[in-house]
Amino acid sequence: MPLTLTLTEGVIPAGSEKEAVSRITHSMLKHHGLLDNSVMTPNVTAHVSVLPKNSTFSGGEEFSGVWMEWKVPSFAFASREVQLAHFAEATQIIKDLSGGKQPVEHIYSNVIHTVDGSWNFNGVAMTNEEIGNEIAKG
């Protein structure tokens, strides 16, 4: 379940991307009740892109932004309670790492749900039910 974290350079100090990913991942697992789940934890992956200041825009004008995008099976982030709790926490993580300088209105998040049966665990395309059975083992 990959997290794509995209930031304009300078939003958070260089080198703190690892901490951002770790804390956001921890939040996602916590709010789904999956902390320390041996199946889920290694299947939450991430990549970070830090873009030059002159390549991020809002309303056609240069600005500094942060985008957090999760790609997950449809059962993840299905609860409004989980959505509100996780994204409030993830937004605060970025704000804190920015030293309070990044405005929350320039921290964006979204979730993309995959087609049931297309999620790959251990080289096998699995349905939501099959993933749930695997998670229950961990």
The CATH number that applies at residue 7 is 3.30.429.10
* Number of domains comprising the chain: 1
Residue 7 near residue 51 (C-beta atoms within 8 A): yes
**pLDDT at position 119:** 85
**pLDDT at position 62:** 96
Rg (CA), the chain: 16
The per-residue pLDDT string of the chain (138 residues; one tens digit each, 9 = 90 and over) reads 899 999 999 999 999 999 999 999 999 999 999 999 998 999 999 999 999 999 999 999 999 999 999 999 999 999 999 999 999 999 999 999 999 999 999 999 999 999 999 988 888 899 999 999 988 987
- Give the domain extent around 20: 3-137
DSSP classification of residue 39: T
**pLDDT at position 137:** 87
**pLDDT at position 12:** 98
d(CA 53, CA 84): 29
